[in-house]
Chains A and B, each alone.
Chain A
């Protein structure tokens, strides 16, 4: 009995430093954010904090607010619904476009094609490059002037003046040669921002999946070959099920990464209102509007959503008899 107690005490003592770090670095900031989200205060100095309960959350999810003095309804510029929809759309694109593409490349590269190492490096390179540099790079691609590669390409194939006529009609005279102010309008800015985000992390997921595929026992693959399985069947019935834990991790990273996405969109567009995401809205409310209660509420919502999606994805990937971690 004494020995068991001493054993448990030892374990506790060894776990204590990690537990303290976990509490101080992770749990305490979350708890502080949750606490601040119930208050209205407009300075970091945190003086004159007014307790307002769930009002911050209500404000974030109200598309229209009513002016208390004249009863007039007006559009709420702090509405989070659109930003949340945008990030869920990004998550869906990540899961249904980015990950299948990464899987396809990983499957092809794992077959030992010539120049495998070169391809691996090339696909992984965007992950290594700073997001700010990638943002600048894509700004040049989207440049609406002569320097823009995308518009130059469209002009070269005669697509100028024909794209998005409804935006053209709304904004300018018919004289305009519209080949795309890709980051300038709501209609195109979101997609223009999503493409580089998706492109940047294809290589990251590809590398995870590639490593997983290399771990598939060769006996299994040889047995399948002896049984006369086609490449498609090997991929579908052996490799993909075998790397399921890695796929689960990739899906969790893709979805939570989409919810947290900030840096590339911020670099690409100085005015993020055209492609707002929860994290860009949070930044604006915290550091431009000085609305720390509202910003903290978005932080809490993001944390909750990340945990929720991680849990749901774990459940979706759970096989019979397996417990959700």
Chain B
């Protein structure tokens, strides 16, 4: 069984190797089979191992496999070894299963692209890296996966490399996340030097033994790891790369920039939750960052024209919810929202991608309209995804996961009315911007005609994801509605359950509030964008709308504070001022050379005078002695 565990990441790696070495020479069908097949087999293996894992739990709740000793020197050991527990099980399930569906979709989406095999090679490499990230038993191997997914993100954002803007977006993503990663690796140094290991399990044990609650070292390391997490998960203040990352093909946005990679930060915090629990101030910071990010991104999503940018800001906002949950100690609620979000957001990106594909690369929702009748399957699935994102009560999975977070934001011992209020306003924004997008895209008059209907390979994955976006919520029902806790029961073998402080408040009140806010957001969207578009039009022209549209001006500030000074510094000293020193020596030497060679002019009077001066000079010295 443990060897099968190792096969889960190895299969996509194998796919990557075959495609990258022979891919250019293989017919496209073979490429598609290898690319999707490798991930499909991984998904199948995950199902088998997951079933066994849940039905025959091992005594310590863990399956582990050690492949080889990676680094061992001076007390530092890191192995290439994988470890499966409840948390990583959820992640590998989402990565392989949603990953497989997106690969299938990509076969049709990318058909005819000259980089077809390159695309699948990168995608397989991504799935491999992401699996390593979530299965790693030590932080160094986790970091390998962490940087690996960053590389794939870079490669796939810039997949259509001939367009310089895509390359710019790709580098922006890599460099900004690398800033966070550098904080994270310093955190690793700190952990190793103080706790003597990088093995995650041992680290957590040592940390709780050696560090007191709120000790400076615990605060510092948690803050540094948080730095890595906000970079990867596009949270404040490192969120600016994600909207631009939409330059990549839509399946990439679905897999990397919605369902999996961007939630790596959530995984990291959940994985090292012991450390964050020891650092209450940092944990509060996680919640506050989440709350601020979800609001900020929600407002920005409200003003975008580009379908994919709306979804990108929505992703930032939804990960904000996950951070909020992590920050209040609702660990399993965060993971639950991660899973549900992976389903509905992948669905939205795939359906949105299909819309864009059928409308000949049209991204602007204001140039779409009336697509409800033109592409009914896409419309209905997109509507389901949107309903889930907007947390439409009772029938969508998004309702159950988001409601849980809102409830804990108020009731958990770390929670506060302020955090709840942020989440509550965010929920309103979410349903507003979501249905703005739905109404403008699919209702009203048709502005661009689709030229064909999507094929089976596009429709089937979307439909499957739509089913999951509706049903996935029922594995975790709130206390007021049957109190069914399949999901959190599994996770609570590993993650502590939430400590409640406001037991007296009735949970049902919050569910009613959440339902009302979701429905009223939808209603307002209906009024603003279908009934009386003039109202929305006047808002669109306002300065505040522009401010939201530009992502709250973060890009401009970073440009002035970081980019411009670095470029300026590079430009003024391109030729390295230190080189002037050696050039100076050379010039002085040449000067004396010229001066001295002037004397050697062969004229007798010069020679006689030099002789006389010399004699006088020597005589003076001798007399003074």
- Say whether A associates with B: no
Q: Measuring CB to CB, which residues of chain B are less than 8 angstroms from any residue of chain A?
A: none
Which residue numbers of A lie inside 8 Å of B, CB to CB?
none
